[in-house]
Amino acid sequence: MRIIVAYYSETGNTEKVAQAIHDEAADGHDVRLCKISEITADDLRDYELVFLGAPCHGSDLAPPVRKFLKAAPKSPGFKLAGFFTHATYAPDEYEGGEEIYQRWAGKCIASFETPCQEKQIEFQGYFHCMGAPSPPIEEFIRTKVISSEEQYRSYLSEVRSRPDSKDLHNARAFARTIISKL
Ligand SMILES: Cc1cc2nc3c(=O)[nH]c(=O)nc-3n(C[C@H](O)[C@H](O)[C@H](O)COP(=O)(O)O)c2cc1C
């Protein structure tokens, strides 16, 4: 199968996940790994399966990825699976995580699903995990999101190592599942 793993990443977190998905898919398939800036949305027509990745910005997929999806062709031959990284806890990782996740990353999934529905692109599912925030985002979280010093320290000690080897293992498992369905 011809597969492309295309991503946008500012500080390398989403890129690590993209690399893991690529490495899994490369076992038995013809796979290209690239940044979305290196291709046009029309180039996706050359593939049967597209993995598209983004960081979460402002609770949503980063704007360049939303723009890229908006430019995707209608009724193409390819199927699409999404992945994203975010600085907030995933719903199952923290008590009260669901509410925090919805507030800080809650628009990402719909931003994959809605354009796919509009363009009759078969959406296969998504993967997401935490990704270490850059210093200005850490500062934003420190001042605007987590008020308790103790909670902030515990959050930082967790998030700074993400995505970690478990996340990358899970990303590979996700890629395997998607590919095996097709
Ligand atoms: C401008 C900007 C806005 C962000 N907004 C959010 C947000 O709303 N929710 C969140 O969970 N993380 C947010 N983050 C954190 C990133 O999603 C996270 O650190 C991600 O892993 C970065 O991925 P990258 O290294 O591939 O760029 C934001 C980061 C930046 C730079």
Cis status of the peptide bond prior to 163, with omega within 30 of 0:
yes
pLDDT at position 92 is 84
Q: Is residue 99 part of a domain?
A: yes
Q: Is residue 143 part of a domain?
A: no
Q: Is residue 140 part of a domain?
A: no
Q: Is the pLDDT of residue 104 over 90?
A: yes
pLDDT at position 53 is 98
pLDDT in tens, 143-180: 988 889 998 999 999 999 999 999 999 999 999 999 99
Of 17, 61, 86, 159, best ligand 1 pocket probe by most atoms within 8 Å of the beta carbon: 86
Q: Is the CB of 9 under 6 A from ligand 1?
A: yes
State the chain's mean pLDDT as an integer. 96
User: What's the angle, vertex CA 128, arms to CA 28 and CA 152, rounded to 5?
Assistant: 140
Tokens coding 135 = 């210093």
**DSSP for 93-159, written as a single string:** GSTTHHHHHHHHHTTHHHHHHHHHHHTT-EEEEEEEEE-PPPHHHHHHIIIII---HHHHHHHHHHH
Q: Are strands 2-7 and 30-35 parallel, antiparallel or unpaired?
A: parallel
pLDDT in tens, 108-157: 999 999 999 999 999 999 999 999 999 999 999 999 888 899 989 999 99
Q: How far is Cα 174 from Cα 162, in angstroms, rounded to an integer?
A: 17
Q: Is residue 151 part of a domain?
A: no
Q: Is residue 148 part of a domain?
A: no
Domain count within the chain: 1
Average pLDDT, integer, range 42-70 = 98
The range of the structural domain enclosing residue 77 comes to 2-132+163-181
Q: Which residues are bridge partners to 80 per DSSP? A: 50, 123
Q: Is the pLDDT of residue 34 over 90?
A: yes
pLDDT at position 146 is 86
Q: How far is Cα 132 from Cα 158, in angstroms, rounded to an integer?
A: 9
Q: Is the CB of 133 under 6 A from ligand 1?
A: yes
Q: Is the pLDDT of residue 96 over 90?
A: no
Cβ within 8 Å of residue 12, ≥6 positions away:
none
Residue 162 CA: nearest ligand 1 atom is 21
Of 56, 130, 159, best ligand 1 pocket probe by most atoms within 8 Å of the beta carbon: 56
Dihedral, CA atoms, 15, 146, 106, 165, nearest 10 degrees?
30
Q: Is residue 145 part of a domain?
A: no
User: CATH number of the domain that 87 lies in?
Assistant: 3.40.50.360
Q: How far is Cα 85 from Cα 168, in angstroms, rounded to an integer?
A: 11
> Residue 121 in contact with residue 76, Cβ under 8 Å?
yes
Average pLDDT, integer, range 23-51 = 97
